[in-house]
Amino acid sequence: MKANHFKYTFSYINEFGVKDLGSLNGTTLNGEKMVPYKVYSLSNKDVIGFAKVHYTFEQDASA
């Protein structure tokens, strides 16, 4: 298993994102396989997955 599967990003316009770091089996966003190294914008409740692990992105509404 590769140590780094994906990376969160944050842009100058206060937008969160995620990108797959070329992982062997890929990373999914809401069940769809991500293109390696492409940044995807994140919305509240988006689900990021790799292997059998899933993370739900939650942004505080007051942020």
CATH number for position 11: 2.60.200.20
Average pLDDT over residues 48-52: 91
Average pLDDT over residues 28-36: 96
Answer yes or no: is 61 within a domain. Answer: no
Q: What was the pLDDT predicted at 3?
A: 60
Sheet holding 28-29, edge to edge: 32-33, 28-29, 47-50, 53-56
Answer yes or no: is 40 within a domain. Answer: yes
Q: What was the pLDDT predicted at 14?
A: 72
Tell me how many domains the chain contains: 1
If you search the block for the tokens 């409740």, which residue do you land on? Answer: 45
Q: Which domain holds residue 32?
A: 6-56
